[in-house]
Amino acid sequence: MKNKIKICLLVLLILVMVTSVVYSAEEDYDSEISKIKMGINTVWVLIAAFLVFFMQAGFGMVEAGFIRAKNTVNILMKNLLDFSMASIAYYIFGFGIMFGVGNLFFGKTGFFLQNIPAEMNGIPTLAFWLFQVCFAGAAATIVAGALAERLKFKAYIIYSFIISALVYPLVGHWIWGNGWLMQIGFLDFAGSTVVHAVGGCAAFVGAALLGPRLGKYGHDGKPKAILGHNLPLAALGTLILWFGWFGFNPGSTLSGMDAHLIAKVAVNTNLAAAAGSIIAMIVTWIKFGKPDFGMTMNGALAGLVAITAGCAFVQPLSAITIGAIAGIIVVYGVMFMDKVMVDDPVGAIAVHGMCGIFGTLVVGIFHETNGLIVGAGLNLLGIQALGTFTVALFVIVSMFVLFKILDMTIGLRVSREDELRGVDLSEHQAEAYADFPMSASNN
């Protein structure tokens, strides 16, 4: 009897040990799988962040190509400093306001990246921060092109810090940081409103207050062409931006594990850009008798901006439709800005402001399950309209106050003499093409 008891106890002990080993092995297996998933997600988000960072070069090339040679150094300097100012501003204030613990309107923790959780959205918080700061820099740099050739450099870098530290993060908190718009169901997957409408509205206020470039409008109010000095450079910038958008939109999944969603977002992004460029070309061909290269490039960018909000929520045919309509909007948007004598050398207001608002609104129409087109009613469209126009109003008011303060203190605009000579020399004592004589149109 005692031997039987001993045997039973021994068997029981063996079973406990085996069970413990198996359970431990399962725990180790699950832990390793979690680490692998986080590693994949982190690498994916960081690669996407690097692509979005490279978009700064795209913006710089587009803006430089569309303006005169005598202002090239200035615009490139602004693009470089945009990301530099955004990085510091977003480190000190922006990230905490946008994603810190707070209320429905702003975050109150995480300033200087202190006391932040180790992980957010399934990746290290520092990786998430790097991805987000690239978006902040993109929002800021949209304004550079619209205010090109006549804005004081010191006024610009102050603006760049403020929008990255305060204005952009507040909007981001409302929509992506569990703020009031997120709570009511507002959808903006990758930033048609958060990034592009914010930048576009800021550009509109700045351009309106700054006034047009000398010689842009005649006494009759009709616009006169001030040709950009390097369309090949602008074309390179457009293609860099198109390429970078494959980080901007698909990277916003924040996960490399959902292969089908990433593929869908990438395809929708590409189709919208293609449709935008084709339709903008056709519209200008019909309207002006020739296909306009500058407008065609802006048509591609318009399609990219418009699809950014809904790229994860719509079908490819809807993406083509959204991009095509954006291609029309950008042509007439640029013409409208000229009618109201708001001088925007690169078309940033139409591309980012108008098409950003449009792209966010039509999520309520083309959403594959909750949109008007599938019979889901007007609820989502109403939410999209409320959020989009609230953001636009907030940015317009806040940027008006900021630019007015700058104008009354350090001044916004360079002198007439400096504008005629070129802000490269007056602001930086440099020339982009020092070994080449300037043409008469650049003097």
pLDDT per position as a tens digit, 21-50 = 555 556 666 778 888 999 999 999 999 999
| Under 8 Å between Cβ of 80 and 148 | no
CATH among 3.40.50.1390, 3.90.230.10, 1.10.3430.10, 3.40.50.2000 for 41-442 = 1.10.3430.10
DSSP state of 119: E
Structure-model confidence comparison of residues 356 and 11, the more confident one: 356
Residue 437 — very low, low, confident or very high, per pLDDT cuts 50/70/90?
Answer: low
Residue 188 — very low, low, confident or very high, per pLDDT cuts 50/70/90?
Answer: very high
- Three-state secondary-structure class, residue 151: strand
Backbone angles phi, psi at 313, to 5 degrees: -115, -5
Residue 440 — very low, low, confident or very high, per pLDDT cuts 50/70/90?
Answer: very low
The one-letter code for the residue type at 146 is A
CA distance 411 to 404: 9
Domains in the chain: boundaries: 41-442
CA angle 122, 126, 130 (to 5 degrees): 105
Longest dimension (CA), the chain: 116
Average pLDDT of the segment spanning 296-323: 98
Backbone angles phi, psi at 413, to 5 degrees: -110, 140
Structure-model confidence comparison of residues 119 and 7, the more confident one: 119
The one-letter code for the residue type at 115 is N
Residue 197 scores a pLDDT above 90? yes
Positive or negative: CA dihedral 272, 128, 80, 194: positive
| Under 8 Å between Cβ of 182 and 174 | yes
Of 329, 357, 138, 71, nearest to 63 by C-alpha is 71
The reported pLDDT for the residue numbered 52 is: 98
The reported pLDDT for the residue numbered 7 is: 73
- Three-state secondary-structure class, residue 102: strand
The reported pLDDT for the residue numbered 14 is: 72
CB atoms within 10 A of CB 388: 25
- pTM comes to 0.93
The reported pLDDT for the residue numbered 9 is: 64
Backbone angles phi, psi at 123, to 5 degrees: -135, 165
Residue 292 scores a pLDDT above 90? yes
**Mean pLDDT, all residues of the chain:** 94
Burial class (CB in 10 A: 0-12, 13-18, 19+), 80: middle
Backbone angles phi, psi at 290, to 5 degrees: -140, 145
Residue 339 scores a pLDDT above 90? yes
Residue 10 scores a pLDDT above 80? no
Question: At 123, which helix (H) or strand (E)?
Answer: strand 123-124
Q: What is the pLDDT of residues 214-261, one digit of tens each?
A: 999 988 889 999 999 999 999 999 999 999 999 999 999 999 999 999
The reported pLDDT for the residue numbered 33 is: 86
